Amino acid sequence: MTSLLKPPFRADVVGSYLRPDYLTEARAKFARGEINQEALTEIENKAITDLVHKQKAAGLHVITDGEFRRSWWHLDFMWGLNGVEKASLKEGYKFQGIESRPETARLTGKISGKNHPFIEHFRFLLQFADNNVIPRITIPAPAQFFKELYRPENKAVTESIYPSQTDLIEDIAKAYQTFIAEVYALGCRNLQLDDCTWGMMVDSKYNNAGVAEQKSQCNCNCSSNTTVITQSVEDLAEIFVQMNNAAIEGAPEDLILTTHVCRGNYRSTWAASGGYQPVAAYLFGRENVHAYYLEFDSERAGDFSPLAEVSGDKQVVLGLISSKTSELEDKQTIINRIKEASQYLPLSRLCLSTQCGFASTEEGNELTEEQQWAKIALVTEVAKEVWGTV
């Protein structure tokens, strides 16, 4: 790879983009058996090539494949691991006023990360690298995978294959280390771990939070479809930070590892609410990443004060511009919020992006491609005004 650029950038993105109609149509045809994998891949290649040109034209220093080969931001990666299968559930993830498709990742055997299909996906993107852009790959964090395996309909299978939770965590870490080593050898120098676990566990009312606090809120059996791993946020946070760190331990020094946290992003809706303070000491103080991409586009994310917990010289990318809404934010309001955040972390360690991707699943959010690129343009415009560069 020729680029000497080092992310995160003052004007940055989370990774996913709205799928063009012709790609959506092709995926539907493939699902119906009307076209084969080769034909679909050719259409995906075209869509990704077009997207890369648009990202470069927008003045971004980072390119992604938009997650165009995926149905979900997270499950497709899990399905690509050895020992994991695609499975259906009775219910999907619960969002505000809507429920997702009822799909999941379930174990069939011991986990490993060899020969993951995302390696070839990244190989295609890598050809577009140059001195002005760096290719980024986004994958779900180890903690996200771990929690998926403990959804109520998955838990019994998980525990039958891994009676010891310690062994499960160890194999997850090894699988990620294998993937990281392979994608690095190919030329990847920027890997992003998407991790909604932190954004969910701050809201004990959310049924996929992973903690059992909500059991005391009613006398019914409402927890029967609830993901429960531990009895407290603190216990769960300890598990997650240790697991994530174990998975990236030994990563090459020149591989920029970042993580993205939000509270759900499905067809412009959200899942959880709550500020970062309950998990700040774990996430910001102890997770061994170079930077955090954080949702901050609404009151549901709380205030900026938890940023004081960000340790060392780690950076924060403020997700102040919403990828959920079609309305374009006021530039001065965004600038003022950046200044507010700089009370807790120096401006030199801050960057700007949307709060999440534009299409965490292939359905996408409720805005047009034109509105999507207008949001990106606002990110770059504000970055130039605040920092003098993108």
Distance CA 230, CA 237 (A): 10
The candidate with the shortest Cα–Cα distance to 362, out of 267, 260, 293, is 267
User: Which residues fall within 8 angstroms of residue 79, CB to CB, at 6 or more apart?
Assistant: 85, 86, 105
- Where in 66-150 does DSSP place strands (E)? 82-88, 94-95, 98-99, 103-112, 134-135, 137-140
pLDDT value of position 355? 96
pLDDT value of position 213? 52
CB-based contact 380:351 (threshold 8 Å): no
pLDDT value of position 87? 97
pLDDT value of position 94? 87
pLDDT value of position 223? 42
Residue indicated by tokens 């060899």: 114
pLDDT value of position 323? 97
To the question of domain 29-387 being in CATH 3.50.50.60, the answer is: no
DSSP string across 249-264: TT--TTSEEEEEE-S-
Residue 290, helix vs strand vs coil: coil
Q: Where are the alpha helices (DSSP H) in the chain?
A: 21-31, 37-57, 75-79, 118-126, 142-148, 155-161, 165-186, 197-201, 233-248, 277-286, 331-341, 369-387
Greatest Cα pair distance, the chain, in angstroms, is 61
Distance CA 162, CA 21 (A): 42
Looking from the CA of 212 toward its CB, the CA atoms found within 13 Å total 9
Residue 167, helix vs strand vs coil: helix
pLDDT value of position 216? 39
- Report which residue type is found at 179: F
Distance CA 28, CA 32 (A): 6
* Residues of the chain below pLDDT 70: 1-4, 212-224
Phi then psi for residue 46, to 5 deg, are: -65, -45
Q: Quick one: CA dihedral 120, 121, 124, 127, positive or negative?
A: negative
Residue 166, helix vs strand vs coil: helix
Residue indicated by tokens 């691991």: 81
pLDDT value of position 4? 66
User: Which residues fall within 8 angstroms of residue 353, CB to CB, at 6 or more apart?
Assistant: 11, 12, 13, 14, 293, 317, 318, 319, 321, 379
Distance CA 305, CA 328 (A): 26
Q: What percent of the chain has pLDDT over 70?
A: 96
pLDDT value of position 281? 98
Q: Quick one: CA dihedral 113, 256, 357, 194, positive or negative?
A: positive
pTM comes to 0.94
Residue 99, helix vs strand vs coil: strand
- Report which residue type is found at 253: E
pLDDT digits (tens, 9 = 90+) for 149-205: 999 999 999 999 999 999 999 999 999 999 999 999 999 999 999 999 999 999 978
Distance CA 258, CA 254 (A): 12
Distance CA 323, CA 358 (A): 5
β 103-112/82-88 pair status: antiparallel
| R_g (Cα) of the chain, nearest Å | 20
The candidate with the shortest Cα–Cα distance to 240, out of 143, 383, 103, 111, is 143
pLDDT value of position 228? 86
Phi then psi for residue 180, to 5 deg, are: -60, -45
